[in-house]
């Protein structure tokens, strides 16, 4: 085993000087919904169960990463709440200890299982929740996610609020001719309920590889729509956060736009991703993965795992290059990489 560090290790820095503090862990590639921009109706070929990391393995890799300087862990998927022991995973991750203390644990979810899990997750040490919700209309939700479960996502949001998570963010992917006419309605809903609305540009990460830039609703279009109904003032201090945020009518409500494609924020990216089958990716769009599962299962010690994490970051590119003619969509869909 790695032994105790006398002093804090060097920051997790890449070739471009970006310090990495944020680890996204996919807890499963499976999902209870089939959002059109993410999965085909029939789902994707699921990972073989023996390749999916055990909870001990996840906690070990996270411990090594936290000891190396990761300060925030976001659980995602697939649908992370489908993992039967998700509360235990949160509890164990929240107890890890790095140079800057315990990591902050957050979750991105479709919300369906929050009614039953929210209080357990809060008690386990989860602090922040993002719930994905693209529409407030039942027929649209059913069409978009291929499941008639708007009611459950709304119940999940209510449960998250009832147990005191703060802030609670709503993520919506804006799609032309699908839900772009709901930008203002979703924002009003979020203001009314005390949630923070975040609009995301659609990225080329769907399993069907059908993304087209011209079909994408840009962050600028979203802001133009919002500006017709609200007074928006720039909220300073974005830091490494993907969202650029605005106060609505002077605050305290705010709205954010994640313009990953039209205004990439790769220059301040502090994120690294661990797939459910134990592959480390320096970027959503990375073409290489580092096989931490294989290393770990062949007996690597903590120091070797720490070195592998640093080597993976050494391969990180300066940007995602979506706008580059030579851009190639990653082979794995978002649900397998971990959104």
In the complex, the residues that contact ligand SF4 under the rule CB under 6 A are: 31, 33-35, 38-39, 77-79, 110, 132, 335
Q: Which residues pair with 24 in a beta bridge?
A: 74, 273
The answer to the question of residue 339 lying near ligand SAM (CB under 6 A) is yes
Which residue number, 257 or 334, has a Cβ lying nearer to ligand SAM?
A: 334
> Any contact of residue 38 with ligand SAM (CB under 6 A)?
yes
**CA-based angle 186:190:194, to the nearest 5?**
175
Among residues 157 and 191, whose Cβ is nearest to ligand SAM? 157
Query: Which window, 73-81, 181-189, 228-236, 304-312, contacts ligand SAM (CB under 6 A)?
Result: 73-81
* Interacting partner of 39 out of ligand SAM, ligand SF4, none (Cβ under 5 to 8 A depending on kind): ligand SF4
When the beta carbons of 290 and 335 are compared against ligand SF4, the nearer one is: 335
CB 259 within 8 A of CB 290: no
Does 282 participate in binding ligand SAM (rule CB under 6 A)?
no
Per-residue DSSP letter, 96: -
CB-closest chain residue to ligand SAM: 339
Q: Which does 81 bind (CB under 5 to 8 A by kind): ligand SF4, ligand SAM, none?
A: none
CA distance 93 to 21: 15
Residue nearer to ligand SAM on the CB measure, 120 or 242: 242
SS3 of residue 107 by DSSP: strand
**Residue reference for tokens 């106060």:** 247
152/110 Cα distance (integer angstroms)? 9
Instruction: Give yes or no for a contact between 190 and 238, defined as CB atoms under 8 angstroms apart.
Output: no
Q: Which stretch binds ligand SAM (CB under 6 A): 49-57, 60-68, 86-94, 331-339?
A: 331-339
Among 171, 187, 196, 254, binds ligand SAM (CB under 6 A): 171
Sheet holding 254-258, edge to edge: 232-234, 244-248, 254-258, 196-200, 168-173, 126-132, 104-109, 72-76, 22-26, 271-274, 279-281, 290-291
From the list ligand SF4, ligand SAM, none, partner contacted by residue 216 (C-beta under 5 to 8 A by kind): none
Within positions 93 to 152, which residues make up the interface with ligand SAM, using CB under 6 A? 108-110, 132
Prior bond to 320 cis, omega within 30? Answer: no
- Residue 283 is a binding residue for ligand SAM (CB under 6 A): no
Please, which residues have CB within 8 angstroms of residue 6's CB and are 6 or more apart in sequence? none
Number of residues binding to ligand SAM, judged by CB under 6 A: 20
Which residues contribute to the site for ligand SAM (CB under 6 A)? 31, 37-38, 76-77, 79, 108-110, 132, 171, 173, 200, 202-203, 205-206, 334-335, 339
């Amino acid at each position: 085993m790695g032994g105790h560090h006398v002093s804090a290790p060097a920051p997790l820095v890449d070739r471009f000087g970006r310090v990495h503090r944020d680890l996204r862990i996919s807890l499963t590639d499976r999902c209870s919904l089939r959002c059109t921009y993410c999965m085909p109706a029939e789902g994707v070929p699921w990972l073989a169960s023996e390749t999916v990391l055990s909870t001990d393995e996840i906690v070990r890799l996270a411990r090594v990463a936290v000891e190396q300087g990761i300060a925030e862990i976001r659980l995602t998927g697939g649908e992370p709440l489908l993992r039967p022991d998700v509360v235990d995973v949160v509890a164990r991750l929240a107890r890890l200890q790095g140079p800057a203390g315990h990591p902050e644990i957050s979750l991105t979810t479709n919300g369906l299982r929050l009614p039953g899990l929210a209080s357990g997750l809060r008690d386990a040490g989860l602090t922040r929740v993002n719930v994905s919700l693209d529409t407030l209309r039942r027929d649209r939700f059913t069409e978009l996610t291929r499941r008639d479960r708007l009611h459950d996502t709304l119940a999940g949001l209510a449960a998250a609020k009832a147990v005191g998570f703060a802030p609670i963010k709503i993520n919506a992917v804006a799609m032309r001719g699908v839900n772009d006419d709901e930008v203002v309605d979703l924002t009003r809903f979020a203001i009314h309920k005390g949630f923070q609305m975040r609009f995301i540009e659609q990225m080329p990460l769907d399993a069907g590889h059908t993304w087209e830039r011209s079909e994408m609703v840009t962050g600028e279009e979203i802001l133009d729509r919002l500006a017709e109904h609200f007074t928006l003032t720039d909220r300073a201090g974005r830091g490494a956060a993907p969202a650029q945020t605005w106060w609505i009518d002077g605050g305290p409500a705010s709205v954010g736009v994640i313009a990953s494609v039209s205004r990439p924020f790769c220059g301040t990216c502090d994120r690294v991703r661990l797939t459910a089958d134990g592959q480390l990716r320096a970027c959503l769009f990375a073409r290489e993965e580092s096989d931490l599962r294989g290393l770990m299962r062949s007996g690597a010690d903590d120091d070797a795992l720490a070195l592998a994490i640093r080597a993976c970051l050494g391969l990180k590119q300066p940007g995602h290059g979506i706008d580059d003619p030579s851009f190639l969509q990653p082979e794995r869909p978002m649900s397998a990489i971990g959104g």
